[in-house]
Chain A
Amino acid sequence: MIEFLQQLGKNTRTGFTKLGRGTFFLLQTISGILSVLPRPRLLFNQMYSVGVLSFLIITISGLFVGMVLGLQGYYTLSDFGAEESLGVMVAASLVRELGPVVSALLFAGRAGSALTAEIGLMKATEQLSGMEMMAVDPIKRIISPRFLAGFLSMPLLAALFSAVGIIGGQLVGSGLLGVDEGAYWSQMQAKLDFQDDIINGVIKSVVFGFAASWIALFEGYDAIPTSEGVSRATTRTVVNSAFSILGLDFILTTLMFGDK
Chain B
Amino acid sequence: MDNSVSPQNSLVSVQNLSFSRGNKKIFDDISLEFERGKITAIMGPSGTGKTTLLKLIGGQLFPEQGTIIVDGNNVHRLRRSELYNLRKRMGMLFQSGALLTDMNVFDNVAFPLREHTHLPESMIRTLVLMKLQAVGLRGARNLMPNELSGGMARRIALARAIALDPMMIMYDEPFTGQDPISKGALVHLIKSLNTILSLTSIIVSHDVQETAAIADYIYVISEGKVVGQGTPKEIEQSESDWVQQFMTGAADGPAHFHYPAKDYVDDLLSTGKRY
Contact = CB atoms under 8 A, between A and B. Distances in A.
Contact of B85 (A127, A135, A141): A135
A127 B157 CA distance: 11
A1 interface: no
Contact of A135 (B88, B98, B157): B88
A52 interface: no
Interface of A: 121-122, 125-127, 129-137, 141
28 contacts: A121-B101, A122-B101, A125-B96, A125-B101, A126-B94, A126-B96, A126-B98, A127-B98, A127-B101, A129-B60, A129-B94, A129-B98, A130-B94, A130-B157, A131-B100, A132-B60, A132-B87, A133-B90, A133-B92, A134-B87, A134-B112, A134-B115, A135-B84, A135-B88, A135-B115, A135-B116, A137-B84, A141-B115
A40 B257 CA distance: 57
Instruction: State the majority secondary structure of interface residues on B.
Output: mixed
B224 interface: no
Contacts of B90: 133
Nearest to A124: B96
User: How many B residues touch the partner, as a band?
Assistant: 20 to 34
B95 interface: yes
B62 interface: no
Contacts, number: 53
Instruction: State the majority secondary structure of interface residues on A.
Output: helix
B111 interface: yes
A133 B101 contact: no
A130 B100 CA distance: 9
A103 B179 CA distance: 50
B230 interface: no
A211 to B, nearest CB: 26
A125 B96 CA distance: 7
Interface of B: 55, 58, 60, 84-85, 87-88, 90-92, 94-96, 98-101, 111-112, 115-116, 157, 160, 164
Contacts of A134: 87-88, 111-112, 115, 160, 164
Contacts of A136: 111-112, 115-116
A130 B85 CA distance: 15
A131 B99 CA distance: 9
Contacts of A132: 58, 60, 87
B98 A130 contact: yes
Nearest to A132: B60
B53 to A, nearest CB: 14
A132 B115 CA distance: 12
Of the listed residues B90, B91, B98, the one surrounded by the most CB atoms of chain A closer than 10 A to its CB is B98
A127 B100 contact: yes
A125 B164 CA distance: 22
A141 B115 CA distance: 9
B117 to A, nearest CB: 12
Nearest to B84: A135
B92 to A, nearest CB: 4
Nearest to B90: A133
Contacts of A121: 101
Contact of A133 (B60, B95, B96, B100): B60
Contacts of A130: 92, 94, 98-100, 157
Q: State the 9 A-B residue pairs at the shortest beta-carbon distance, nearest first.
A: A130-B98, A126-B98, A135-B87, A135-B84, A133-B92, A126-B94, A135-B88, A134-B112, A136-B115
Contacts of A133: 58, 60, 87, 90-92
